[in-house]
Structure 1
Amino acid sequence: MTMKSRNHPVTRRFAGLAVWALCGAALAEGGRPAVPLLPRYVQECAACHVAYPPGMLPAASWERLMKTLPQHFGNDASLDAATQRDLSRWLQANAGGGAPPPQDRITRSAWFVREHNEIPAAVWQRPAIRQASNCAACHTRADQGDFNEHTVRIPR
């Protein structure tokens, strides 16, 4: 490649997009690097729902959620004090940025609404999906913390 072709606007734009795509694959929502999920977090939280990556909510939301586990969205998700303390610290250290969403619900966050705005309301009502928080219904690798749109399969 010549110096002239390397500095061509199209070449520079393509190179920039390639870097953005590669880096973006390793970033969680809010621009923070994706972190491996803590095994204890997966054990405790994925027993009932997807173990959401900590970058999906800001620290203030995780703090409130962890303090209200006995009333966790209508369920008692209480943990022993040591586990609650350890998971709280890990969630705080790896939380995303931005403003807390209404009711600290991931599905009400600005980025979630933006990413799912093309989904018709009827799709959320399908028996295999039932609700927006059932990420694994469409995101085939949600259990691995991977929400890449290229692996989405919307059930009929």
Structure 2
Amino acid sequence: MFNLVRQKLIRHKTIKALSPLILLLATALWCVGLGWGMAFALDPIPSRYENGRDLYLENCSGCHIAIPPEVMPTQTWKQLLENPEDHYGRSLTNLIRITQLLIWDYLSAYSRPLTTNEPIPLLIEQSRYFKALHPRVQFSEPVTADACVKCHPGVAQFDYRTLTPEWQDAP
């Protein structure tokens, strides 16, 4: 009887001693799995914004690449959508009001506002958000939406995370 109690006590102590190790191992595996999954996923967006994103990509990438909303401030997007008849010297006649509203809903949710008294940038290279996202990049020519593909080969799929080899390990 004494041996049986002693064996149960030893087994209980062994399990108790291993519990933190098992918990640590399980947590590590969970973190690795979660990180692995997130590393290969583009940012998912709520279904509320999917139509706006799709319309943005469809309407904007027909003439130039569609830049991510966070590259330009909210006020720039607002100005561009409110004046479709003067879009950098071109008229966007096929942009109907409901399309504008859905695109605006998406762009306003994923862009950032300007600070008080900050001028509204109309060109990519004037945007402080663009500069913040590209701190080490020196441009030898004016920045255009079509120039992004030089460093971001996945822009056709709206993938700005994939970089050319020279920028892969850039801080």
Same fold (TM over 0.5): yes
Contact 1:51/1:145 (8 A) holds in 2: yes
The structure carrying a bigger helix percent of its residues is: 2
* Residue 15 (str. 1) matches residue 31 (str. 2): yes
Counterpart of 1:90 (choices 87, 102, 127) is 102
Long gaps (5+) in structure 2: 1-17, 167-171
Deviation (angstroms), 1:98: 2.2
Pick closer, same or farther for the CA change 1:78–1:97 going to 2, 3 Å: closer
**Alignment pair present for 1:153 and 2:153:** no
Dislocated runs of 4+, deviation >3 Å? 5-9, 16-21, 23-26, 32-37, 40-44, 53-61, 104-107
Which AA in structure 2 matches 1:113? K
* Structure-2-length-normalised TM-score: 0.56
Q: What are structure 1's unaligned runs of at least 5 residues? A: none
Residue deviations 1:99-130 (CA, integer Å, cap 9, x gap):
148325454142x32221111x2xx226xxx5
Change beyond 3 A, Cα 1:64–1:79: same
Query: Is 1:102 aligned to 2:113, yes or no?
Result: no
Give the CA RMSD over aligned residues.
Answer: 4.0
Aligned residues: 137
Q: How does 1:65-80 map to 2 (within 5 A)?
A: 65-73=80-88, 75-80=89-94
Contact 1:62 1:88 in 2 (8 A): no
Identity percentage of aligned residues: 19
